[in-house]
Amino acid sequence: MTRHLLSLMDLGADGLAHVLDRAAVLKTLRGSPDHPRPLTGKSVGLLMEKASTRTRISFEVGIGELGGHVVALAGRDLQIARDEPLEDTSRVLSRYLHAVVVRTHGQDRLEQLARGAQVPFINALTDLYHPCQLLADLQTIAEHRSAGLDSLKVAWVGDGNNMAHSWMLASALVGFELHIACPDGYRPEPDVLSIAEAQGRGSIVIVDDPAAAVRGAHVVTTDVWASMGQEEEAAARREAFDGYCVTPQLMALAHTDARFLHCLPAHRGEEVAAEVIDGPASVVWDEAENRLHAQKALLEYLL
């Protein structure tokens, strides 16, 4: 049976734990002659319909380090740009490739591609979810925390976007406490909350006060206020998110050894103060590096 990663729920709790454990091992083996090359003789497509820095580079490098061959695919250069059905495209790609990594807009678009596929399709970002980023985030927290992930309190401050949704699913699978602070009108999708709550693990609290969310948190995390495709809303969003910047004063309410995460790119002075993202509590550069190791573990797991 073909295994996809359309959201973290496709891994389940056991699969997620396996990938995180394996990512830690692969990180220690990087550059070593003992590093495994399970993708030798295999080709993986990267279908990028949104701009990318970390996702594209980490997947390309990771596939190569696992022994695989990368086939870069731009949506505008494929027949899907001329309305070829997505299921037809994925059927064809399944005959050539051993897996396809997709960065696109709607989650429904990715699900259509996966329905016609006979090889794993991996969500490298949609408007609804960003599961690969959460793998790196959880790996980073585990590196900087001696206690288990299930004892965490995580504070999300900002937009109820694809990252917030992915944190909700991570909470449901791992069992940690998640407090989300969003202004009215920018809260997470109720359907995603229902999926997370149905899992029966973790705890998700949604408030409109950043201080209430951050107080006592072991991890404080945020994202840009206007994501790709929302540039025309930027001014309105800056007004709506006034008071939601992660400042040193806000971080002071968190646990004494709290860490700051950001999936990047960051806008210093908007969603996060420069003193925070460039300060001692920030682990964003470890987080960015761990995209490589976590995605290598994911590819190995799915293939």
Active site residues: 103, 130, 133, 223, 263, 291
CB neighbourhood size of 39 (10 A)? 23
Residue 139 corresponds to which tokens in the numbers above? 């790996």
Where does the chain have alpha helices with state H? 12-29, 54-65, 86-96, 107-115, 131-143, 162-174, 190-198, 210-214, 234-240, 248-251, 274-277, 284-302
- Which element (helix H / strand E) includes 204? strand 203-207
Q: Which of 223, 184, 182 is nearest to 204 (CA)?
A: 182
Q: Residue 128 is encoded by which pair of tokens?
A: 């609804």
Is beta strand 121-123 parallel, antiparallel or unpaired with respect to 69-74?
Answer: unpaired
- The C-alpha R_g of the chain, in whole angstroms, comes to 19
3-class DSSP state for residue 201? coil
- Alpha carbons 293 and 140: distance in angstroms, whole number: 11
Q: 159 near 189, Cβ under 8 Å? A: no
Name the nearest CA neighbour of 70 among 60, 56, 80. 60
Q: What's the one-letter identity of residue 208?
A: D
Pick from 116, 48, 103, 106: which is nearest to 77 by CA? 48
CA distance from start to end of the chain: 11
Cβ–Cβ under 8 Å, residues 65 and 296: yes
